[in-house]
Every structure is written in structure tokens, then in C-alpha cells.
Amino acid sequence: MAGRLAGKVAVITGSGTGIGQAIAIRYASEGATVVVNYLEHPEQADETKARAEAAGGKAITIQGDVSKIADTNRLIDQTWQQLGRCDILVNNAGIEIGANFWDITEADYDRVLDVNLKGAFFLTQAFVRRLRDAKRPGRVINMSSVHEDMVFPHFPTYCAAKGGMRMLMRDLAVELGPLGITVNNIAPGAISTPINARMMANPTELNALLANIPLGRMGTVDDVAGLALFLASDDGAYVTGSTYVIDGGLMRNYHEQ
């Protein structure tokens, strides 16, 4: 199939829902074969696969917990075994746990850091080792957040993880540039997905948030997928070491409630 990602293979973590799902479908519509990674709901991954195929691409599903190094290695190994290559990695899987700072447990700290940061770190390592051995170029796209840079009181674990992702991206852009591998972050603002379900169900919180967004609406998953396509496509070939904010202007106009 023709398209801006024709012939490419892309792994997108946590792509049974939300932003990851939209990216998988968009990539497939541009000719990529997509690997739909999911944690515990195969039916969600199957839905992404069906929609990716309906969009004209190919898709496979692979279960794996990105916070477990054995799983990140297996995800890349199975991709190469089944598809013979892997050109694009989207580190999209993420979680947030809100709490007063003084109530945060070690288990919650570990979970948020392990999924959002350690997972991206070691999955990228497995991805890069294969490319280095095969002498092939690649693209790494991390789903960071405006909170890699902007405060999010009551979510300090999330900020620590996304802030770490910001410097991880910058570091790897330099180290991996000579291998022809680009590394960039996407920093969404408030996007309408399951991660925001609680907030979106509370009109007071939702309206307060919307008042902070100059464009006056939450972002859609398709807004983010378009940017992820740019970074994976030939148009993004010379972009590395950057964070692309996509937030309707939120970062320039944020007030804590």
C-alpha cells in the first residue's frame, strides 16, 4: 500500500485505547504495518487492529507490560520475528496516579515511574540494539506531556516521569544521531481519552480546565496522531532532540485551581 509510511513497521505501546489507538490507525492508513501492544485487554487491541486494517494497513497485536524488561525485549523480538523489521517506536503507554504528596506510597511511585519512564527507557534500548545490529535507521517518538515542563500539583510522580522523559529524549537524540535514529517527544495538553475520564465527568473541573485553554476545547486523539505521523514520516527526517507541544495553548495560560 502507498502512503507516507509505506513499508514501515511501527510498534505503538498501549495502543488498545486513546492516543495510541489513534496513532496506530493513522499509521496504518499511511501504509505502515502496526504492532498494537496492550497490557490486559486483548479485545481493545483487537478493535485497534480491526480499525487499522479497515484503514488499509496491516496490524498484529502483542501483549506486554512495558514496565517489565522481559516483556519489552519480547515485544521487540516478536516484532522482528513476525515482521522482519521495526522502524518506528512510539512509547505511548502511560499512567497517572493523583494524590497529596504526603500520601504517595512507594508502590504508587514505582508503578508510575516504571510504566512511564523505565518502560520507555528499556523498550527503546531493545529497539535500538536491533537497529544497531541491522545497521538501519529508526524513529523514536515518546508520548510525554506538557507536564514534562509544567507543574501538575498532586501528580509529582507523573511529573518526575515525564520530566525524566524530556532529558532521556535529549540525551538519546545525541547518542543515537550517528546511528540515524531520531528521538523526539510529543507533549500533549488535555486530550479527550480514558486517562481523563474522571475529570471529564466533573463539569466543574472540566469547565475550569477549558477556561485555561486558549483554543477553548480539549484536544482529540486525531490531533495528536497527525503530529505523530509527521515525526515518523520523511517530512520529520531532520527533526531530533525536540519536544513538540500540542495543547491548544494551555501551557501559555495555565492556572492552578
Which residues, 6 or more positions from 85, have their beta carbon under 8 angstroms from its beta carbon?
A: 9, 134, 136
Counting DSSP H helices and E strands in the chain, the numbers are 9, 7
Length of the chain: 257
* CB closer to ligand NAI, 122 vs 131: 122
CA distance 166 to 147: 10
SS3 241: coil
CA distance 128 to 248: 33
Among positions 145-164, residues that touch ligand BGC (CB under 6 A) are 145-147, 152
| Contact residue for ligand BGC among 1, 195, 206, 239 (CB under 6 A) | 195
Contact of 76 with 126, CB cutoff 8 Å: yes
Task: Supply the minimum distance, in Å, between the C-beta of residue 212 and ligand BGC.
Answer: 9
Catalytic annotation, pick one of 158, 238, 244, 254: 158
Which residues, 6 or more positions from 103, have their beta carbon under 8 angstroms from its beta carbon?
A: none
Under rule CB under 6 A, residue 166 binds ligand BGC: no
* CB closer to ligand NAI, 21 vs 233: 21
Under rule CB under 6 A, residue 229 binds ligand BGC: no
Under rule CB under 6 A, residue 189 binds ligand BGC: yes
Residue 158 designated active-site = yes
Taking the C-alpha atoms of 27, 9, 238 and 90 in order, what is their torsion angle to the nearest 10 degrees?
70
Binding mask 40-79 for ligand NAI (x = CB under 6 A): -------------------------xxx------------
Question: What's the grid cell of residue 23?
Answer: 496513532
Stretch touching ligand BGC by CB under 6 A, among 48-56, 81-89, 111-119, 139-147:
139-147
From 46, 55, 2, select the one nearest 26 (Cα to Cα): 55
Under rule CB under 6 A, residue 192 binds ligand BGC: no
| Contact residue for ligand NAI among 3, 5, 11, 18 (CB under 6 A) | 18
Binding site for ligand NAI (CB under 6 A): 13-14, 16-20, 37, 39, 65-67, 92-95, 115, 143, 145, 188, 190-191, 193-196
Residues assigned a catalytic role? 158
